Amino acid sequence: MSHPVNSELLDQLPLGICVFDAELRVHAWNKTLERWTGIPRDELLNSDLGQRYPKLRQPAYLHRLEEALFHGVPVLFSAGLHRHVLDVPARSGAAGEFMVQETWIRRLSGSSHLLIMSIQDLTTEYRQLAELRNDRRELVGFQQQLEQANHSLQASLVMYARNNQRLQAEVQERAHAEDELRKRAADLAAAKDREAEHAGWLEHLVKELTEARQLAEAAAQTKSEFLANMSHEIRTPMTAILGYVDILREPGISEDEKRDAIETVQRNGQHLLAIINDILDISKIESGRMTIERLTTSPRELIDDIIGLMSPRAVEKKLEFKSDVIGEIPRTIQTDPTRLRQILVNLIGNALKFTASGSVRVITQLIPAGSQSRLRIDVVDTGIGMSDQQLRNLFQPFTQADMTMTRQYGGTGLGLAISQRLARMLGGEITISTELGRGSCFTVTIDPGEITIPAHPTAPVATTPAPQQTPTAPQPLAGVRVLIVDDAPDNRRLLSFHINKFGGFDTAENGDVAVQKVRAARNSQPFDVILMDMQMPVLDGYAATGVLRREGVQTPILALTAHAMVGDREKCLNAGCDDFLTKPIDRTQLLSTIIKYTTAPKPDLTVFSY
Amino acid sequence: MPHWNLDDETRDALTELINLGVSRAAASLSELVGERIVLQVPNIYLYRPGDRTPPGLEELSRAATVINQVFEGSLQGAASLCFPADSSLALARLLSRDRDSSIDRLDAELSGILLEVGNIVLNGIMGSLSNSLLARLRYAMPEIRSIVRAGDELGPWDQLRSDEALIGDVRFHVSEQQIEGAILLAFSLDSLPQLLETLSVPTLA
């Protein structure tokens, strides 16, 4: 049975079309197939397709061809499963390569025994697919690589972040370490500075110690020289005193010799006292126990007093001796008049001492400088002057400009040292300009404190008490009974000698005896005054005075002590004494003090000075 | 359109009919893959629009690859072979010449292979059915659809959802392989009386 197949229509399709029957006999073979297979349609029509293409006779194919034929279902032979149904060489590509085909077979519409097979050439598509797959594989590979790279990158980023953190930590650590290092360096530098400072300080200390040692050695040397000098100075008058006392014992000496000996003893005794006073002064200053008062003082009156006091010596040496004032000086200043007097007496005394001819002038002026104002007093002489070497040692204690000068001019060698220290305590100093053989100018400056100007006195002012005039008038001291308490027999005898001339007395060699005698005399003839030595064996003056005061004894007790230091007076007064006298005893002072404490002096008694 | 229910006898007859066709199709698939095909008992039910989406269609909506075969004639309807994405790819790679495991998507070759597999399986079922029912059926060319996302066209199934239909649903898996799938059959109710008559099922309610 034939079926009209429109061959012309089939030839126009880009598919390979073959129509065949159940026996696989070909009924149509279009030009596309002719072109693909190279088999002319005429050659194939009505021939057995199974013979040409044996695959079609395989059961798997035959079975599905039967389904199509009997059930009318379309049957697909996919390229993926079959590659091709008809083995046709590929139109391009390598030799031996077959065309890749997708083949549909279904029953020809309107026929019950013909099947139409349409073949689509997918060779190109499959090549492209293969390339796409390769590309895709590559892309997937790339993707995997990228993912790996990304993963690595992520890991690197994580690591970078960690490293960064570590780096940050290291940077911070390093910064911290650098800070620490800087701090250590600064510490080291500071330590080095301290060390250098310490070394400098040590060096300075060593230098100071060396200087101090040298000074100490020099001081020790000076002190030794001073002691030697003092020893000499003390021994010299002592020798004279003792020697002339021996002369006085000689039987048969004339009255002139006796008077001469007595005057020599007195002169040397006074010189000895001056030496001891100087030693006490320098000792007080050096130990810081010298106290300075500030009293309203008239400088003009003070200087005039001193000029008056010392004029006799100038007259004696036929020297011109006068006081001048430059400009306007204060009417009053605030100073210690006693100490200022001591300084000026020393300087003027020196000037008079070391000037053989010419003049000694005292020039006073005010150097105004507000709170730094100074009162300046120049003592200008035309004396022997001094060398530079002599100047250098001038103010050192225990020295003189020249130790040999002591021999010639006498003195303790302490006067200038004392004066310089006193001037400093008064807020000034002593300076010297001198020329050997031509004379010297000693300049003392002091702090005048609060001053009043002009220099015309309008109100009473305190001045240094002028030296007491030698008492020449008789003093009342009759009927007075004095108890002399002293462990030294000579002193008891000396005091007895003084008292005996004007009143009654008794003696005691220690405090205990004194207490007993006072008790014994209370009810018969009580003492009017007790002269109490303070340092005695058995019972000293302090204790004895205490006992008497506790027993209600009101008799005035005058302390006698060789301790002339500040504080001794207070100590004695605290013990119950009424007044204080220092040894050696000044006769005049002794008698006037006794008069002061006796209530009923006898008018016919007279005290005379030596 | 008559409104009827599916009684047990009819259901049994239909189950047996579908089982026969599916078994024949499974034999063809087994022959292709060289592995045993394990079938579940067919699930037969009536579907009416508005019903809750039946499990078979639910399965269909989750499928990634569907091969449809529409038929008409004394029976009208469609037969489909459905695979989840992993299974469709695994099956196609298993049957391909080079079995290249690096291919991770259905390209033209693998799609062609799945279309032929569907063609073989669905032809087996339809051949069996048409033999059993002496039905003369006309077939459209089979088609393969890849469903990438919800809402992609399902071919004939989109139309079936708006009509009443008799649904046959058979699940299977390929032994020793991670491949599973479903065979779905839908028959328009218009054609059912003839179907039932052929099966000598006496009544339609």
A102 to chain B: which residues are within 8 Å by CB? 112
Instruction: Return the top range by mean pLDDT from A31-45, A177-191, A279-293.
Output: A31-45
Of B195, B190, B189, B81, the closest CA to residue B129 belongs to B195
- A80–B113 CB contact, under 8 Å: yes
β-pair type (A101-107, B37-39): unpaired
* pLDDT higher than 50, residue A475: no
Of A120, A129, A127, the closest CA to residue A102 belongs to A120
Tokens coding A80: 């993926």
pLDDT at A233: 66
Q: Which of residues 110-149 of A touch B (CB under 8 A)?
A: 122, 125-126, 129, 132-133, 136-137, 140
**In which band, very low, low, confident or very high, does the pLDDT at B155 lie, cut at 50, 70 and 90?**
low
Which residues, in sequence order, are bridge partners of residue A89? A98
The residue in chain B having the minimum alpha-carbon distance to the alpha carbon of residue A128 is: B108
Q: How many CA atoms lie within 13 A of A365 on its CB side?
A: 10
Output phi, psi for A136, to 5 deg. -65, -45
**In which band, very low, low, confident or very high, does the pLDDT at A210 lie, cut at 50, 70 and 90?**
confident
**CB-CB contact of A19 with A28 (8 Å):** yes
Helix pair A337-354, A299-317: axis angle to 10 deg:
20
Q: What does the longest C-alpha to C-alpha distance in chain A come to?
A: 217
Q: Give the residue carrying structure tokens 């120049």.
A: A378
- B112–A79 CB contact, under 8 Å: yes
State the nearest Cα–Cα gap between A74 and chain B, in angstroms: 6
Which residues, in sequence order, are bridge partners of residue B46? B166
CA distances from A191 to A176, A178, A180, A199, A354 (A): 22, 19, 16, 12, 60
B107 to chain A: which residues are within 8 Å by CB? 129, 132-133
What is the DSSP annotation of A267-322? Answer: HHHHHHHHHHHHHHHHHHHHTT------EEE-HHHHHHHHHHHHHHHHHHHT-EEE
Name which of A317-331, A576-590, B85-99 the model is least confident about.
Answer: A576-590
Q: Give the residue carrying structure tokens 């006999």.
A: A25
* pLDDT higher than 50, residue B106: yes
pLDDT at B1: 42
β-pair type (B143-146, B77-83): unpaired
- A71–B137 CB contact, under 8 Å: yes
**In which band, very low, low, confident or very high, does the pLDDT at B117 lie, cut at 50, 70 and 90?**
very high
Residue A492: partners with Cβ closer than 8 Å, 6 or more residues away: A484, A486, A507, A509
**CB-CB contact of B79 with B129 (8 Å):** no
Q: What is the dihedral of CA A570, A574, A579, A585, to 10 degrees?
A: -60
Taking residues B153-162, report their average pLDDT.
66
pLDDT at A477: 64
DSSP assignment letter at A372? G
What is the DSSP annotation of B17-84? Answer: HHHHHHHHHHHHHHHHHTSPEEEPPPEEEEE-TTSPPPHHHHHHHH-SEEEEEEEEESS-EEEEEEE-
List pLDDT tens digits, range A331-355. Answer: 999 999 888 998 999 999 989 988 9
List pLDDT tens digits, range B60-85. Answer: 666 788 899 999 888 888 999 989 88
The residue in chain B having the minimum alpha-carbon distance to the alpha carbon of residue A76 is: B116
Q: What is the dihedral of CA A226, A229, A233, A234, to 10 degrees?
A: 70
* pLDDT higher than 80, residue A405: no
State the nearest Cα–Cα gap between A12 and chain B, in angstroms: 22
pLDDT at B151: 63
Tokens coding A252: 């048969």
State the nearest Cα–Cα gap between A142 and chain B, in angstroms: 13
B108 to chain A: which residues are within 8 Å by CB? 122, 125, 129
* pLDDT higher than 50, residue A469: no
Q: Which of B67, B72, B119, B136 to mutate to test the interface with A (most CBs of A within 10 A)?
A: B119
Which residues, in sequence order, are bridge partners of residue B77? B71, B187
B67 to chain A: which residues are within 8 Å by CB? none
* Least CB–CB distance from B112: residue in A64, A75, A102: A102
Q: Which of A63, A77, A81 to mutate to test the interface with B (most CBs of B within 10 A)?
A: A81
A64 to chain B: which residues are within 8 Å by CB? 120, 123
CA distances from A65 to A74, A117, A118, A131 (A): 9, 10, 13, 33
pLDDT at A102: 95
Higher pLDDT, A225 or A452: A452
**In which band, very low, low, confident or very high, does the pLDDT at A412 lie, cut at 50, 70 and 90?**
low
Instruction: Return the top range by mean pLDDT from A116-130, A577-591, B170-184.
Output: A116-130
* pLDDT higher than 80, residue A283: no
DSSP assignment letter at A247? H
Which residues, in sequence order, are bridge partners of residue A600? none
pLDDT at A471: 40
Length of chain B: 205
The strands making up A26-29's β-sheet, listed across from edge to edge, are A26-29, A16-21, A114-121, A101-107, A75-77
Q: Which long-range contacts (CB under 8 A, 24 or more apart) does A517-522 make?
A: A517/A483, A518/A483, A518/A548, A518/A553, A518/A555, A519/A551, A521/A481, A521/A483, A522/A553
**In which band, very low, low, confident or very high, does the pLDDT at B59 lie, cut at 50, 70 and 90?**
low
Higher pLDDT, A232 or A271: A271
- Residue at B160: amino acid letter: L
Return the sign of the alpha-carbon dihedral for residues B194, B195, B200, B204: negative
Q: pTM of this prediction?
A: 0.47
Instruction: Tell me which residues of chain B have a C-beta less than 8 Å from any C-beta of chain A.
Output: 32, 69, 92, 95-97, 100, 102-104, 107-110, 112-113, 115-116, 119-120, 123, 126-127, 130-131, 136-139, 141-142
**In which band, very low, low, confident or very high, does the pLDDT at A593 lie, cut at 50, 70 and 90?**
confident
Helix pair A255-286, A123-249: axis angle to 10 deg:
170
- B97–A83 CB contact, under 8 Å: yes
Buried b (16+ CB within 10 A) or exposed e, B96-133: beeeeeebeebebbbbbbbbbbbbbbbbbbbbbbbebb
The residue in chain B having the minimum alpha-carbon distance to the alpha carbon of residue A125 is: B108
pLDDT at A602: 39
State the nearest Cα–Cα gap between B49 and chain A, in angstroms: 30
**In which band, very low, low, confident or very high, does the pLDDT at A606 lie, cut at 50, 70 and 90?**
very low
List pLDDT tens digits, range A361-394. Answer: 999 999 888 888 899 999 999 988 888 877 777 7
- Residue at A498: amino acid letter: H
**In which band, very low, low, confident or very high, does the pLDDT at A455 lie, cut at 50, 70 and 90?**
very low
* Residue B62: alpha-carbon gap to chain centroid: 15
Which residues, in sequence order, are bridge partners of residue B71? B77, B139
pLDDT at A15: 94
pLDDT at B186: 87
End-to-end CA distance of chain A: 201
**In which band, very low, low, confident or very high, does the pLDDT at A473 lie, cut at 50, 70 and 90?**
very low
β-pair type (A481-485, A504-508): parallel
* pLDDT higher than 60, residue A565: no
Tokens coding B41: 């008992």
Euclidean distance between CA atoms A269 and A240, whole angstroms: 9
**CB-CB contact of B56 with B74 (8 Å):** no
* pLDDT higher than 70, residue A270: yes
B104 to chain A: which residues are within 8 Å by CB? 140
A75 and B CB contact within 8 Å: yes
Q: Which of B120, B125, B126, B134 to mutate to test the interface with A (most CBs of A within 10 A)?
A: B120
* pLDDT higher than 90, residue B98: no
- B126–A73 CB contact, under 8 Å: yes
* pLDDT higher than 60, residue A566: no
* Least CB–CB distance from A80: residue in B69, B96, B123: B96
* pLDDT higher than 50, residue A601: no
* Least CB–CB distance from B142: residue in A74, A79, A122: A74
H or E element, residue A386: none
- B141–A74 CB contact, under 8 Å: yes
List pLDDT tens digits, range B20-33. Answer: 888 988 888 888 88
Percent of chain A with pLDDT over 70: 87
With 0-12 / 13-18 / 19 or more C-beta atoms within 10 angstroms meaning exposed / middle / buried, residue B11 is middle
SS3 A444: strand
pLDDT at A456: 46
Of A425, A399, A396, the closest CA to residue A335 belongs to A425
DSSP assignment letter at A209? H
Percent of chain A with pLDDT over 90: 31
End-to-end CA distance of chain B: 13
* pLDDT higher than 70, residue A461: no
Q: What does the longest C-alpha to C-alpha distance in chain B come to?
A: 56
List pLDDT tens digits, range A56-113. Answer: 999 889 989 999 999 899 999 999 999 999 999 888 777 788 999 999 999 998 888 8
List pLDDT tens digits, range A503-517. Answer: 788 999 999 999 999
Euclidean distance between CA atoms A44 and A34, whole angstroms: 10
Of A609, A581, A608, the closest CA to residue A597 belongs to A581
- A74–B97 CB contact, under 8 Å: no
* pLDDT higher than 60, residue A598: yes
Length of chain A: 610
pLDDT at A232: 61
Tokens coding B193: 């009386």
Output phi, psi for A273, to 5 deg. -65, -40
**In which band, very low, low, confident or very high, does the pLDDT at A123 lie, cut at 50, 70 and 90?**
very high
State the nearest Cα–Cα gap between A105 and chain B, in angstroms: 11
**In which band, very low, low, confident or very high, does the pLDDT at A272 lie, cut at 50, 70 and 90?**
confident
State the nearest Cα–Cα gap between A106 and chain B, in angstroms: 9
**CB-CB contact of A69 with A114 (8 Å):** no
Euclidean distance between CA atoms A485 and B106, whole angstroms: 150
The residue in chain A having the minimum alpha-carbon distance to the alpha carbon of residue B102 is: A137
* Least CB–CB distance from A129: residue in B107, B127, B138: B107
Of A413, A399, A405, A398, the closest CA to residue A383 belongs to A405
State the nearest Cα–Cα gap between A145 and chain B, in angstroms: 15
List pLDDT tens digits, range A54-71. Answer: 999 998 899 899 999 998
Tokens coding B131: 């033999």
Output phi, psi for B58, to 5 deg. -60, -45
